Structures are given as C-alpha cells and as structure tokens.
C-alpha cells in the first residue's frame, strides 16, 4: 500500500515518526514535504491530494499543528474526503461509512502513540459500501 505524506513545519516531527513506523510495517511512503522549516500547508496538501486523486497513492496523510488547516485545504478538491483524526470511533466511521481517503493529524495536539493508533486504524478499516456508497456518490456530485 502506498501512502502520500505531506506536512508543514508544525506537523514535521510527528510526520517523520509516523513515516518511519509505516515504513517499518511494510508501507510504501511518498514524502511530499516539507523540510521542517516554516512553510505554508496548502502547497503540501495540494501535492498529497494530487497523488490520491491520480491514484498514485492509496491514501494520504497530512500533518500540521492541529490537522484542521490541512483538512480544510484538502477538502476543497473533488474526490477528496479528508478527515481530522481525534478519536478512534471517528476514524473508523470515516473509513467505514464515508470512505475517507486522507487522514489529517495534529502534531501539536496528538502524542506519537495516539497518532500511530489512529493511523493504523484508518489504514486497516475498509469502506462498507452499500447504502454508504450511494451517499458518497451524492456527496461527490456536490463538489
């Protein structure tokens, strides 16, 4: 499974740690920035969204201070369903019911342990389809 990863300076340390853990667990990670210096998150969000939209990556992970800015930026793009990771139930439902394809994590609000738990749950939960598929199709038409 290929994961596109983007971060700004506030999420950089967490992104580096999660990328290392993913690689150690057999995932292919595509690092799309940043280098840890002050930067603007929309550019890195756009790069990850492009990889997911073009199917060059199965999923995307975006990191900033809270995850909110990355989520808002990512959700501006058609076909992207980015979710903010705060708790296990929301992460699971975002995949199972909403077919989320990008997970947004906050480097200033999540511990490494919690971020890793939420990332693994996101990547291991399947979309249920069925009645949820029809809703996703309706959602995608709005954009």
Q: Which is the catalytic residue, given 29, 34, 49, 64?
A: 64
The residue annotated as part of the active site, out of 29, 97, 104, 124, is 97
Q: Distances in Å between the alpha carbon of 38 and those of 22, 35, 78?
A: 25, 9, 28
Is 104 among the catalytic positions? no
User: What are residue 76's phi and psi, to 5 degrees?
Assistant: -75, -10
Strand order in the sheet with 82-84: 28-31, 2-7, 59-64, 102-106, 82-84
What are the helix and strand counts (H, E) for the chain?
A: 6, 5
Per the annotation, the verdict on 64 as an active-site residue is: yes
Residue 50: CB partners within 8 Å, gap ≥ 6? none
Annotated catalytic residues are 64, 97
């Amino acid at each position: 499974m290929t994961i596109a990863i983007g971060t700004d300076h506030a999420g950089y340390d967490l992104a580096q740690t999660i990328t290392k853990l993913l690689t150690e667990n057999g995932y292919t990670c595509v690092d799309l920035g940043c280098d840890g210096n002050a930067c603007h998150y929309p550019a890195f969000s756009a790069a990850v969204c492009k990889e997911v939209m073009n199917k060059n990556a199965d999923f995307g992970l975006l990191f900033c201070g809270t995850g909110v800015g990355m989520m808002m930026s990512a959700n501006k793009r058609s076909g992207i369903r980015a979710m903010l990771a705060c708790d296990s139930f929301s992460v699971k439902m975002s995949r199972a019911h909403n077919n989320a394809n990008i997970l947004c994590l906050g480097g200033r609000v999540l511990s490494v342990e919690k971020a890793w738990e939420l990332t693994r749950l996101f990547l291991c939960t399947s979309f249920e389809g069925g009645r949820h598929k029809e809703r996703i199709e309706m959602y995608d038409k709005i954009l």
